[in-house]
Structure 1
Amino acid sequence: MKLIDLTRAKLTQASVLYRQYLTSLFPGEPLQSNPETEHNSQVYDLAFILDRGNRGWILDAICREIAANYPGSVTFSYEAYFPRGNIAHYAPVDLPLPRAKAYFFAHYSYFAVCLKRYPYLKDRPTYIWYTHPKGLMTDEAFAATMNQATAMICTCSQFAERMIACGVNPDKVTYVLGAADPNLFRSHVRTGKGAVGFSTAYYERKSPDRILEIVQRLPHRSFILLGRKWKAYDRFAELEALPNFKYVEIDYADYPQYYAQMDVFVSPAKLEGGPIPLVEAMMCNVVPVASKTGFAPDLIVPGENGFLFDIESSADEICNLIEQAFQIKTDVRQTVEHLSWQNFSADIQAVMKRFE
């Protein structure tokens, strides 16, 4: 039996699991209506639901790009939606939710938390933006919860496939690739002597040790790292001391001037939803060398506009691909210039319209 048939067969069971899931969370406790809706007469066409920690960061930026081209009224809610502790037991009574005809949740956990407190959401249009797994729920609980949503919009094809494998209704699953501003990230001519670049904040899943090893193994290449929080890396002093390495903490608007210094861009992360810097670099005509996670396999045709490597590849294997990338002659920008934020917003709205 095909995966899609197996998944459909699980849907009735998933609905039962979800009801059991709610009952186990709140035995004997009535789930309240939203007090916010009783005192606020404003009803928006679309409400974006984000955690307080998202303000000014990538999920916030993505939601605002969608809102900028949305034809109806919108509002943004920043509350403690991300589960503090075990998601199975997190549902604060005073969790506000604005009145809206439809909701866009910037992370799947926000939907899980809000749905437990406000079950009426299952009868509203609800759209879930899914970047990458975080291990916050079992597959069974995840599927049972997400099947209550209208649609799950993944960042890439591999995670859309993973949703279906977890038991989410295939009819609810789609994906929309990330984007960048083509007017901000402009093409430049690669010289063959440009830098090798990284663009990422510091997290363990971004493979910091591998970045260090790559810089050490290619002393004849210059490297630029754009990002933040890297001074928290326990080997940062060792990395920063390398003569062929430069770390830059700058405003986002200044990123293009550093992409213009690169010939090759490396994304070595073990897990990604995107990454968005991959699109930015490719728009600047920088050749990508990326791990097979997120939407990298959706964008890169190996040997034509870049290279892909397995997430467990050695630094030596990656360095070999970096050297090959310097030989690529393709106009890389042409392969991604359709991935503008305007088109991204239009694609998201097309998903919403399809599920109306």
Structure 2
Amino acid sequence: MSVAGVRVGALVPLSRPGWAAAGRQLLAGLELGVADVNAAGGIGGRPVELLVRDTAADPARAVAAVEELAGLGVSALVGEYHSVVARAVATRAEALALPYVCASAVLDGLVDAPARWVARIAPAQSYCWRVYADFLLGAGHRRVAVAADQGAYWAAGTEILRGHLAAHGGEVVGFDVRDHSPGTLCDALAASGAGALLLLVGHPEPAVPLVQAVRRDPRLGGVLLGAPAGQPELPDWLEQLGPDGAGVPFLRYLPARFTPHGVRVEAALRALLDAEPSFVAFEGWDAVTALAAALRTDGGGGAPDRSGAPDWSDVEVAGTRGTVRFARVPGSGVWQWAWPPVQVADRDPAEPERFRVLHAEEGRE
């Protein structure tokens, strides 16, 4: 007689308008994490079963998926890449008293009030985007332009950059991409006197045409292009932009050296993806591993206990990028890994398939 599994709902963007390339990386990490948990005996001797739902970057669709998964009796939720979607998932999971480990979304305000049921692997935006601002300041950029689309994530990022740069004598010049074509944005950028332009926009539209326009404008040859949200890391950026996509610094959450788990997981992910894994895949693996630890409420001897919220403060697991522990962080209502390692990296203009680390914060043990 087979043992009933522990059902876990996985939320990932696998279709447009979601960033499907990131979703595939995240799903690979989640699936490998589940395989490793099950190889180690599962949860209380029961195998984990992953029920995958495509959110397509749509908060309403994600909430409907949470409701469906709750009806199917899942013990917990894991995943999601897009911040506005993760916020909707976290809010509904908290209302349903359903444990949720957010893998990749960084928006500080995932919930409106302190949550008992929600934890996060990715760093808070207010932390990692300040690291990016420190990189800009260290590179001598005091006047920085931002081309931003609408949305809470982009607006929050702009304000984090604006506040941190202002505190160090810098300033942000903001451009709303809804008011500009690529050509008129180049005109405005040239007139602004900014030495850097940060692309706080979706990929491939409008990021790709904006990069191409700036690269081809002789007035802007000395302007640094940046993309703190991480668009340049995944292969589709290079496929669509070629050499134009190199030299664009972005944030990623990788260490200088992987843990022993990270070395093994990196090799397994590379084989699974047939490509270099991004930090998003490692976030998926770490999220599943941390969730499994949170659900092991009785030393591994039984089913997950749904009578109360997990004791996230008791979670301590060896992840791919360091030891994962959750704590309460001022300004964030979720249980937070504080902090994963943060790097500012880019693609080497001399060899665009190779990454360079330009600035790093190694996280905390």
TM over 0.5: no
Structure whose residues are more often strand by fraction? 2
| Structure with bigger gyration radius | 1
